[in-house]
Structure 1
Amino acid sequence: MKIDLTETTSSKINAALVQARRDIGTPAIGMVLTLVIVTDEENAYDALKSANDASHEHPSRIVVVVKRVSRSPRSRRDARLDAELRVGADAGSGETVVLRLHGELVDHAQSVVLPLLLPDAPVVVWWPEGAPADLAGDPLGALGQRRITDTYSSEKPVATLGERAAAYAPGDTDLSWTRITPWRSMLAAALDQQSLSVTSATVEGEDENPSCELLAMWLADRLGVPVHRALSGGPGLTAVRLETKDGSIVLNRADGGLATLCMPGQPDRAVALKRRDTAELLAEELRRLDPDNTYEASLKFGVARLEASAASPAKAEAEPEATAEAKAPAKPAAKPAAKKTPAK
């Protein structure tokens, strides 16, 4: 069932939702959270489709906030709220409210969303793109226990990671981090099987890919070894190599689907490591609502510190040579030749 409301209010939207549930014979609310999606018209369809797919695992009330930019000064002064309600089969396993904010109401979106939140249920705020620098300080972000972004959609993903680290607050997370969950699980399992000490690591993937940077920072933070970044044509993250004294542990995924795990003393094995869509990533993030301390530690490790640690081996190799040259005893200066005295 779909209901369109023009020039409406939050109280009218709530009343329409209650009546719609009665009309389709499902008055009871079985939703476990409220998912607030902050987006624009261009990305609203894809974001809502992913949220609906994720709602089959997490029944939720989905509130989509679409801020309509007004072109003329007069229309910018006129505040108006339009809503589209979807209940039943049209809303996945929950119910959907699409809010379109016009005029001055764009700057007060939190006052519209607050009455639509489910009572006594957690709130998750998701920015598919265009997220603010300070998520917890944003008026809509302050409503959520969990705040989800996607650094991959920004123009400068690596620089955005620095902004996320500077303004991090408990509850922040990113889908670029969620994308590497299978990689982290596979690498951790490989190290558990072999009692080998890792001396260095290499992460290979596309340039300006935040997932590659986050995986490299996670390895550097957890293993305390230099981690190098190597570039490839993708797709996404393609390979990770861990160097040990007994050989290399290599997890290689060249085609974006099936990966090969190579470990010293063991036959190569094929592992499923496919690239997941946004709905799967979102469903994974909705499974936990507590702060992700591992993400925080990896994010705050910093890309600049990662580059410095990767450059340290070359510096260490150059230092002994310079030190040996500096400590070498100075050769005695040649004595001047004695002057010959002419014979008398």
Structure 2
Amino acid sequence: MIVDLPSTTTSAVNRKLVEMRASGGALTMGRVLTLVIVTEDGAGIEDAIAAANSASHEHPCRIIVLAYGARKAAPRMDAQIRVGGDAGASEVIVLRGYGQLAGGEAAAGMVMPLLLPDAPVVAWWPNEAPAAPAEDPVGRLATRRITDALAARNPMRAFEHRRANYVAGDTDLTWTRLTPWRALLATALDAPPYEPVTSAVVAGEAISPSTELLAGWLAVRLDAKVKRSPAASGPGVVSVRLERRSGAVELVRPDGKVGRLRQPGQPDRLVALARREVRDCLAEELRRLDPDEIYGAALAGVSKVTRGRTPVKVPAMAGA
């Protein structure tokens, strides 16, 4: 069910929600958080809502989409309420603000009356995000702030903003996409012969915030020399090589889909390493509402990484 409320107020939206709950019982009350999606009007709103709806099956929530419209228009708020099959396991409220309501404190003021009482607030910018999310009016309402540097018009500049302005509670989906890489590498090092890593090389696309973060994470966790090099081919993170006395541990993904884990004394393993969907990354981030200290350490660890100029060549895997 979708109900449109043009030129409305937050009070009218709240009244409509109560009316829909009383008349049809369409809205359940078992919400665990409020997810606020902040974006420009028309900038992939439906994709963001679809990802949030998918994540809501694991984390029932109220989804508020704050869509900024034309800033030179007369002040106006249009609202839309979605419940039932149009809202996954949640209720979706789309607020389109124009003029003075298209950003800033006024936009945050539209959101506040609709937040669930006594429930955590998570803010998500699926595309462009403020340089300092914790200082944004909407960001100040949230306990967790999710950004995605890869979706920005300039991913590396967005990533540098994340590094320069990190505050506990911030996270970025470029970090969440690394979970399978981190798990495979940690598992490989937890097996015999338990030798320390003496050096590491991380290769990936020239413009790849995830590659930067993976190198920063290894620099912090291994306390070893880590070099970040360009890759001759392949999308995103392409390869990681960890040098140890008995031989190298190597994880490569030349085609962006299937990886190969190679360890001394063991047969090669093929592993699924396709780039994760946004909905899966969002669902993972909503599982925790406390600060991700490891992400913060990885951001700081980027400054410890050295830079290589020679592209790393990774051979294609036969049959992969």
TM-score (ref. length: structure 1): 0.85
Unaligned segments of structure 1, at least 5 residues: 312-344
Q: Residue 65 of structure 1 aligns to which amino acid in structure 2? A: L
Distance 1:211 1:138, change over 3 A: same
More helix by share: 1
- Give the secondary-structure state (helix, strand or coil) at the position aligned to 2:290: coil
Alpha carbons 1:156, 1:208 under 8 Å: kept = no
Q: Residue 229 of structure 2 aligns to which amino acid in structure 1? A: A
Given the alignment, which residue of 116, 141, 159 partners 1:161? 159
Which residue of the partner structure matches residue 320 of structure 1?
none
Structure 1: distance between partners of 2:162 and 2:184: 26
Structure 2: distance between partners of 1:16 and 1:125: 24
- Give the secondary-structure state (helix, strand or coil) at the position aligned to 2:248: strand
Structure 2: distance between partners of 1:259 and 1:211: 16
Which residue of the partner structure matches residue 260 of structure 1?
260
Structure 2: distance between partners of 1:3 and 1:82: 11
Residue 130 of structure 1 and its aligned partner are, at CA, apart by: 1.4
Alpha carbons 1:4, 1:84 under 8 Å: kept = yes
Which residue of the partner structure matches residue 238 of structure 1?
238
- Give the secondary-structure state (helix, strand or coil) at the position aligned to 1:198: coil
- Give the secondary-structure state (helix, strand or coil) at the position aligned to 1:261: strand
Which residue of the partner structure matches residue 282 of structure 2?
282
Which residue of the partner structure matches residue 271 of structure 2?
271
Structure 1: distance between partners of 2:75 and 2:54: 32
Q: Which moved more, 1:275-284 or 1:198-207?
A: 198-207
For residues 12-31 of structure 1, give each alpha carbon's deviation from its aligned partner in whole angstroms, at most 9, with x where no partner exists: 10111121223332454111
Given the alignment, which residue of 90, 94, 97 partners 1:98? 94
For residues 79-126 of structure 1, give each alpha carbon's deviation from its aligned partner in whole angstroms, at most 9, with x where no partner exists: 111001001111110100000001112231111100000111110000
Corresponding position: 1:292 with 2:288 = no
Alpha carbons 1:83, 1:100 under 8 Å: kept = yes
Alpha carbons 1:20, 1:87 under 8 Å: kept = no
Structure 2: distance between partners of 1:173 and 1:27: 30
Residue 208 of structure 1 and its aligned partner are, at CA, apart by: 1.0
Alpha carbons 2:220, 2:301 under 8 Å: kept = yes
Residues 66-77 of structure 1 aligned to structure 2 (within 5 Å) = 66-71=67-72, 75=73
Alpha carbons 1:39, 1:65 under 8 Å: kept = yes
For residues 167-189 of structure 1, give each alpha carbon's deviation from its aligned partner in whole angstroms, at most 9, with x where no partner exists: 11110000000000111111011
% identical aligned pairs: 51
Q: Which moved more, 1:224-233 or 1:126-135?
A: 224-233
Q: Residue 142 of structure 2 aligns to which amino acid in structure 1? A: G
Structure 2: distance between partners of 1:181 and 1:70: 39
Which residue of the partner structure matches residue 225 of structure 1?
224
Which residue of the partner structure matches residue 86 of structure 1?
82
Structure 1: distance between partners of 2:28 and 2:119: 15
Residues 34-73 of structure 1 aligned to structure 2 (within 5 Å) = 34-40=34-40, 41-71=42-72
Which residue of the partner structure matches residue 202 of structure 2?
203
Distance 1:301 1:159, change over 3 A: farther
Structure 1: distance between partners of 2:235 and 2:205: 7
Unaligned segments of structure 2, at least 5 residues: 310-320
Moved beyond 4 Å, runs of 4+: none
Structure 2: distance between partners of 1:219 and 1:157: 21
Given the alignment, which residue of 110, 113, 117 partners 1:112? 110
Structure 1: distance between partners of 2:219 and 2:118: 40
Corresponding position: 1:150 with 2:134 = no
Alpha carbons 1:206, 1:236 under 8 Å: kept = yes
Residue 202 of structure 1 and its aligned partner are, at CA, apart by: 1.1
Alpha carbons 2:37, 2:64 under 8 Å: kept = yes
For residues 182-222 of structure 1, give each alpha carbon's deviation from its aligned partner in whole angstroms, at most 9, with x where no partner exists: 11111011001031221111112111100000000100111
- Give the secondary-structure state (helix, strand or coil) at the position aligned to 1:256: coil
- Give the secondary-structure state (helix, strand or coil) at the position aligned to 1:31: coil
Q: Which moved more, 1:149-158 or 1:163-172?
A: 149-158
Which residue of the partner structure matches residue 332 of structure 1?
none
Larger-Rg structure:
1
- Give the secondary-structure state (helix, strand or coil) at the position aligned to 1:189: helix
Q: Which moved more, 1:202-211 or 1:228-237?
A: 228-237
